[in-house]
A and B are shown apart, each in its own frame.
Chain A
Protein backbone atom coordinates (compact mmCIF):
# COMPACT_ATOMS: atom_id res chain seq x y z
CA UNK A 1 0.00 0.00 0.00
CA UNK A 2 0.92 3.64 -0.15
CA UNK A 3 2.02 5.35 3.02
CA UNK A 4 3.27 8.75 4.14
CA UNK A 5 4.64 9.09 7.68
CA UNK A 6 5.35 12.30 9.54
CA UNK A 7 5.33 13.18 13.24
CA UNK A 8 1.97 14.19 14.64
CA UNK A 9 3.19 17.18 16.62
CA UNK A 10 6.38 19.12 17.27
CA UNK A 11 7.22 22.04 19.54
CA UNK A 12 9.94 24.61 18.96
CA UNK A 13 11.04 27.99 20.29
CA UNK A 14 10.71 31.32 18.51
CA UNK A 15 13.95 32.14 16.69
CA UNK A 16 15.14 28.54 16.64
CA UNK A 17 15.37 25.96 13.83
CA UNK A 18 13.08 22.94 13.40
CA UNK A 19 13.22 19.99 11.02
CA UNK A 20 10.05 18.10 10.10
CA UNK A 21 10.68 14.67 8.63
CA UNK A 22 8.58 12.74 6.14
CA UNK A 23 9.07 9.17 4.93
CA UNK A 24 7.08 7.62 2.13
CA UNK A 25 6.28 4.42 0.31
CA UNK A 26 4.29 4.99 -2.87
CA UNK A 27 3.50 3.43 -6.23
CA UNK A 28 5.90 5.45 -8.31
CA UNK A 29 7.22 8.92 -7.63
CA UNK A 30 6.64 12.17 -9.49
CA UNK A 31 7.70 14.62 -6.82
CA UNK A 32 7.16 15.54 -3.19
CA UNK A 33 5.29 18.58 -1.93
CA UNK A 34 5.19 20.42 1.37
CA UNK A 35 2.15 22.50 2.25
CA UNK A 36 1.42 24.75 5.21
CA UNK A 37 -2.04 24.83 6.74
CA UNK A 38 -3.06 27.28 9.43
CA UNK A 39 -5.97 26.25 11.62
CA UNK A 40 -9.28 26.72 9.84
CA UNK A 41 -7.63 27.63 6.55
CA UNK A 42 -6.83 25.85 3.29
CA UNK A 43 -3.35 24.42 2.63
CA UNK A 44 -0.87 26.67 0.84
CA UNK A 45 2.09 25.49 -1.22
CA UNK A 46 5.58 25.70 0.27
CA UNK A 47 7.89 23.56 -1.86
CA UNK A 48 8.25 20.88 -4.52
CA UNK A 49 11.17 18.46 -4.83
CA UNK A 50 11.55 15.96 -7.65
CA UNK A 51 15.35 15.58 -7.69
CA UNK A 52 17.59 14.65 -4.77
CA UNK A 53 19.02 17.48 -2.79
CA UNK A 54 18.14 20.65 -0.95
CA UNK A 55 15.85 23.39 -2.22
CA UNK A 56 16.11 26.66 -0.32
CA UNK A 57 13.45 29.34 -0.30
CA UNK A 58 14.00 32.06 2.25
CA UNK A 59 13.62 30.73 5.78
CA UNK A 60 12.26 27.42 4.50
CA UNK A 61 14.27 24.61 2.90
CA UNK A 62 13.17 21.18 1.71
CA UNK A 63 15.36 18.13 1.20
CA UNK A 64 14.71 14.94 -0.75
CA UNK A 65 16.40 11.55 -0.92
CA UNK A 66 14.52 9.33 -3.38
CA UNK A 67 16.64 6.25 -2.61
CA UNK A 68 15.70 6.51 1.07
CA UNK A 69 12.09 7.58 0.52
CA UNK A 70 12.77 10.52 2.79
CA UNK A 71 12.26 14.25 2.89
CA UNK A 72 12.48 16.97 5.46
CA UNK A 73 11.27 20.53 5.76
CA UNK A 74 13.64 22.87 7.59
CA UNK A 75 12.32 26.08 9.09
CA UNK A 76 14.84 28.64 10.30
CA UNK A 77 14.45 31.75 12.48
CA UNK A 78 11.06 30.54 13.63
CA UNK A 79 8.33 33.10 14.05
CA UNK A 80 5.06 32.78 15.95
CA UNK A 81 3.19 32.90 12.64
CA UNK A 82 4.89 29.63 11.65
CA UNK A 83 2.58 27.82 14.07
CA UNK A 84 0.59 25.64 11.70
CA UNK A 85 0.28 22.12 10.36
CA UNK A 86 2.81 21.06 7.73
CA UNK A 87 1.60 18.50 5.23
CA UNK A 88 3.87 16.21 3.22
CA UNK A 89 2.43 14.83 -0.02
CA UNK A 90 3.89 12.58 -2.71
CA UNK A 91 2.75 12.47 -6.32
CA UNK A 92 2.50 8.83 -7.39
CA UNK A 93 2.74 7.21 -10.81
CA UNK A 94 -0.86 8.25 -11.61
CA UNK A 95 -0.02 11.87 -10.78
CA UNK A 96 -2.23 11.65 -7.68
CA UNK A 97 -1.09 13.31 -4.47
CA UNK A 98 -0.86 10.95 -1.51
CA UNK A 99 -1.09 13.04 1.66
CA UNK A 100 0.42 12.57 5.07
CA UNK A 101 -1.69 13.35 8.12
CA UNK A 102 0.31 16.50 8.79
CA UNK A 103 2.63 17.68 11.55
CA UNK A 104 1.26 20.27 13.94
CA UNK A 105 4.06 22.70 14.78
CA UNK A 106 3.70 24.68 18.00
CA UNK A 107 5.99 27.69 18.43
CA UNK A 108 6.63 28.92 21.96
CA UNK A 109 8.00 32.38 22.80
Chain B
Protein backbone atom coordinates (compact mmCIF):
# COMPACT_ATOMS: atom_id res chain seq x y z
CA UNK B 1 0.00 0.00 0.00
CA UNK B 2 0.97 3.61 -0.37
CA UNK B 3 0.68 4.59 3.27
CA UNK B 4 1.37 3.33 6.77
CA UNK B 5 -1.10 0.67 7.81
CA UNK B 6 -1.98 -0.54 11.29
CA UNK B 7 -4.01 -3.42 12.59
CA UNK B 8 -6.34 -3.91 14.23
CA UNK B 9 -8.12 -0.58 13.96
CA UNK B 10 -9.93 -1.25 17.23
CA UNK B 11 -9.11 -3.62 20.07
CA UNK B 12 -11.17 -4.23 23.17
CA UNK B 13 -9.57 -6.42 25.80
CA UNK B 14 -9.95 -7.36 29.43
CA UNK B 15 -7.59 -6.15 32.11
CA UNK B 16 -4.67 -8.53 32.49
CA UNK B 17 -4.70 -9.83 28.92
CA UNK B 18 -1.83 -9.36 26.47
CA UNK B 19 -2.32 -7.49 23.18
CA UNK B 20 -0.28 -7.16 20.00
CA UNK B 21 -0.54 -4.18 17.70
CA UNK B 22 0.91 -4.28 14.20
CA UNK B 23 2.39 -1.58 11.97
CA UNK B 24 3.35 -1.82 8.30
CA UNK B 25 5.48 1.22 7.39
CA UNK B 26 5.86 2.80 3.97
CA UNK B 27 8.20 0.75 1.82
CA UNK B 28 11.72 2.20 1.91
CA UNK B 29 11.27 4.07 5.16
CA UNK B 30 14.06 3.17 7.56
CA UNK B 31 12.69 4.95 10.63
CA UNK B 32 9.63 3.72 12.52
CA UNK B 33 8.02 5.31 15.57
CA UNK B 34 5.32 4.25 18.03
CA UNK B 35 3.29 6.89 19.88
CA UNK B 36 0.39 6.81 22.29
CA UNK B 37 -2.35 9.43 22.36
CA UNK B 38 -4.96 9.65 25.08
CA UNK B 39 -8.22 11.48 24.40
CA UNK B 40 -7.62 15.19 23.95
CA UNK B 41 -3.91 14.87 24.65
CA UNK B 42 -0.74 15.26 22.63
CA UNK B 43 1.44 12.48 21.30
CA UNK B 44 3.48 10.46 23.79
CA UNK B 45 6.62 8.93 22.30
CA UNK B 46 7.07 5.23 23.04
CA UNK B 47 9.84 3.72 20.90
CA UNK B 48 11.90 4.48 17.79
CA UNK B 49 13.58 2.12 15.31
CA UNK B 50 16.18 3.37 12.82
CA UNK B 51 17.56 0.87 10.34
CA UNK B 52 19.57 -1.87 12.03
CA UNK B 53 20.48 0.26 15.05
CA UNK B 54 19.35 -0.66 18.55
CA UNK B 55 15.90 0.85 19.15
CA UNK B 56 15.40 3.87 21.38
CA UNK B 57 13.09 2.51 24.08
CA UNK B 58 13.28 5.56 26.31
CA UNK B 59 9.56 6.33 26.01
CA UNK B 60 8.19 2.94 27.03
CA UNK B 61 6.15 3.57 30.20
CA UNK B 62 6.82 0.19 31.87
CA UNK B 63 8.38 -3.23 31.26
CA UNK B 64 4.95 -4.47 30.22
CA UNK B 65 5.54 -2.70 26.92
CA UNK B 66 7.86 -4.06 24.25
CA UNK B 67 8.26 -3.75 20.51
CA UNK B 68 10.16 -5.41 17.74
CA UNK B 69 10.76 -4.72 14.11
CA UNK B 70 11.39 -7.74 11.92
CA UNK B 71 13.49 -7.46 8.79
CA UNK B 72 13.59 -3.71 9.08
CA UNK B 73 9.94 -3.45 8.04
CA UNK B 74 6.88 -4.61 9.99
CA UNK B 75 6.76 -3.74 13.67
CA UNK B 76 4.74 -5.22 16.53
CA UNK B 77 4.02 -3.43 19.80
CA UNK B 78 3.16 -5.82 22.61
CA UNK B 79 1.49 -4.83 25.87
CA UNK B 80 1.47 -7.52 28.53
CA UNK B 81 -0.99 -7.71 31.40
CA UNK B 82 -2.94 -4.72 30.13
CA UNK B 83 -4.24 -2.14 32.58
CA UNK B 84 -7.12 0.32 32.18
CA UNK B 85 -4.66 3.21 31.96
CA UNK B 86 -3.26 1.63 28.78
CA UNK B 87 -6.47 2.60 26.98
CA UNK B 88 -5.50 5.06 24.22
CA UNK B 89 -4.93 5.34 20.50
CA UNK B 90 -1.60 3.83 19.49
CA UNK B 91 -0.12 5.52 16.43
CA UNK B 92 2.69 4.28 14.25
CA UNK B 93 4.69 6.56 11.96
CA UNK B 94 7.53 6.04 9.50
CA UNK B 95 10.01 8.27 7.73
CA UNK B 96 13.07 8.09 5.50
CA UNK B 97 15.10 9.12 8.53
CA UNK B 98 17.73 10.84 6.41
CA UNK B 99 18.84 14.42 6.30
CA UNK B 100 16.17 16.65 4.85
CA UNK B 101 13.50 13.92 4.89
CA UNK B 102 12.40 13.73 8.49
CA UNK B 103 8.69 14.10 7.79
CA UNK B 104 6.80 11.38 9.61
CA UNK B 105 3.87 9.70 7.94
CA UNK B 106 1.26 8.35 10.32
CA UNK B 107 -0.92 5.30 10.18
CA UNK B 108 -4.61 5.46 11.13
CA UNK B 109 -3.90 4.15 14.63
CA UNK B 110 -5.23 1.35 16.81
CA UNK B 111 -7.79 2.34 19.42
CA UNK B 112 -7.18 0.15 22.46
CA UNK B 113 -9.83 -0.15 25.16
CA UNK B 114 -9.02 -2.08 28.31
CA UNK B 115 -12.11 -3.03 30.32
Contacts and interface: CB of A to CB of B under 8 A. Distances in A.
A99 B43 contact: yes
B28 interface: no
Interface residues of B, number: 19
Interface in B91-109: 91, 97, 102-109
B41 interface: yes
Give the size range of A's interface with the partner: 20 to 34
Contacts, number: 43
B106 A42 contact: yes
B42 A94 contact: no
Contacts of B35: 99
Contact of B106 (A30, A43, A91, A101): A43
Interface string B44-65: 1100100000001000000000
A18 interface: no
A97 B91 contact: no
A30 B43 CA distance: 19
Given A33-B103, A87-B42, 8 more contacts: A31-B102, A33-B104, A91-B102, A97-B33, A98-B45, A99-B43, A99-B45, A101-B42
Interface of A: 30-31, 33, 41-45, 48, 87, 89, 91, 94-102
Nearest 5 interchain pairs by C-beta:
A101-B42, A42-B106, A99-B43, A99-B42, A45-B103
